[in-house]
Structure 1
Amino acid sequence: MGILSRASYVVRSKLNALLNRAEDPTETLDYSYERMRDELQQVKQGIADLTTQKKRLEIQKRRLEENVEKHNEQAREAVQQDRDDLARRALEKKKEKMSQIEELETQIADLQSTQDDLVEKKNDLQSRIEEFRTKKETMKARYEAAEASTRVSEAMSGVGDEMSDVSRALERAEERTDDMEARSAAMDELQESGAFEDALSDEDEIDRQLSAGRTESEVDAELETLKSELGESGGESEGSADVDVADDEIEAELDELRDSEDDEGSA
């Protein structure tokens, strides 16, 4: 195979491949069905034309037969008048008309035979067209169902790919949400522990401990003052029970003061 032949073969192959991809089977079937219907219509038209021609010959034959009968009457009348010459001429015309009638009968018979053959072919073609139409509709239904199934499968495949992307996006969103929740919880914990306030304060740990020591000394001094005041105002005549009650109240107030100082120190 030469270069040009190979190139031509490749081009034809490419064109056939393109045509196969572009071809819609349902349109091809419909087109074939319409072509067959056109051919059937042409056959019917041919039968109609043939029948018309046959009818014309039959009409011409009837006219010739009428002329034959007329020439018979002419010949009889001529014989009655002893006009043999006229009778001969009438019989000659009769013979001529009968010869034409025989030719017409032959043509009419041929046309009838052709008409019968065309009618038979027309009926056969019509049956084939109806059979093709049934197969065409069945094939179109199968093709459309297969096409719909293919579209659904392709759509499902596309949805599967898209869902994979969506799943990954959900995973990333969930990870970011977990991170944000963890950071929020950590911030709340630092807030509760006072770490933010410590970071914002200018005092260091030594300053805070010294401040706490000063506060405790002041509380102890105030406590001694309270005890002295209570001891002087109560006197010894109130008895040991009143002293115990005073001591309990002092201890309770002392605890409250310590708790308050501890809260201020931790802050």
Structure 2
Amino acid sequence: MGVFSRMSDIINSNINAMLDKAEEPEKVVRLIIQEMEDTLVEVRSAAARAIADRKELERRVEYARRESDEWQRRAELAINKGRDDLAKAALVEKKHTDTAREALQGQCHEVELGLAKLNDDIAALQGKLADAKHRQKSFELRHHTAANRLKARSRTHDERINNALGRFEHYERKLEHMEGRVEAYDLGKQRDLDREFADLETNDHVEAELAALKERMGSETAAAKE
């Protein structure tokens, strides 16, 4: 598993756990950065171990090279002394030493490749970490601003609603008061109207009685003359 795959698994696991607990977004961002910093420490530690391994392998390669040269010198010395048997034995040892040295060189090459990969990982991780820290500041600022705006908007909307309702109730009371005054005037007018109609009915009754009285008195006067 690669460094970044492992880091991604750890971060996603912790983020999901925090989101399940409804943690604040800033905490999630800080956790991501902390995980990246911890991973960077681990990668640097791995690189330090790889450098130490490379140095040790390089020392062993150099030792094997010197040992091979020594066996070569001994083989040449044996030939000069007419000891072909010793020369052959020295060349056999030289062959073993060269084989071991080649194996060590192969290991050293693998360590070099691994170290180059770790170096790339460190550079990439440092870039991602720097970007994350930069974005963290922007994220926190945006979140705080949004939270404050939301709180202000919520408070403003509540106040506006309350104010609107208060004004509505105020004007409703004023309207009811006006309607009451109108009804009061109408009640007065209704009484005046009733009185006028009563007066008209009384006048009609009086006129009728007056006419009847005149007719009766006229009849009586006519009877008296006869």
Q: Which runs of 5+ in 2 are unaligned?
A: 1-15, 165-226
Q: Is 1:70 matched with 2:70?
A: yes
TM-score (norm 1): 0.49
Give, in whole Å, the separation in 2 of the partners of 1:97 and 1:133. Answer: 52
Matches within 5 A, 1:1-267: 22-153=22-153
Give, in whole Å, the separation in 2 of the partners of 1:162 and 1:91. Answer: 102
Give, in whole Å, the separation in 2 of the partners of 1:95 and 1:32. Answer: 54
Hey, which bits of structure 1, 4+ residues long, moved more than 3 A? 18-22, 150-164
CA, structure 1 residues 134+90, in 2 after alignment: closer, same or farther (shift >3 Å)? same
Give, in whole Å, the separation in 2 of the partners of 1:98 and 1:122. Answer: 35
CA, structure 1 residues 148+106, in 2 after alignment: closer, same or farther (shift >3 Å)? same
Given residue 30 of structure 2, which amino acid in structure 1 is its aligned partner? D
Residue aligned with 1:69, SS: helix
- How many residue pairs get aligned? The number is 151
CA, structure 1 residues 33+141, in 2 after alignment: closer, same or farther (shift >3 Å)? same
Which of these two proteins has the greater Rg computed from alpha carbons? 1
Deviation at 1:24, TM superposition (A): 0.5
Deviation at 1:37, TM superposition (A): 1.3
- Higher alpha-carbon deviation: 32-41 or 120-129: 120-129
Deviation at 1:135, TM superposition (A): 1.4
Percent identity of the aligned residues?
A: 22
Give, in whole Å, the separation in 1 of the partners of 2:116 and 2:105. Answer: 16
Deviation at 1:157, TM superposition (A): 6.2
Deviation at 1:38, TM superposition (A): 1.1
For 1:63-122, what per-residue CA distance to the aligned partner results, in whole angstroms no more than 9, with x for missing partners? 011101111221122222222222221111111101111111111111111211221122
Q: Which runs of 5+ in 1 are unaligned?
A: 1-15, 165-267
Given residue 124 of structure 1, which amino acid in structure 2 is its aligned partner? A
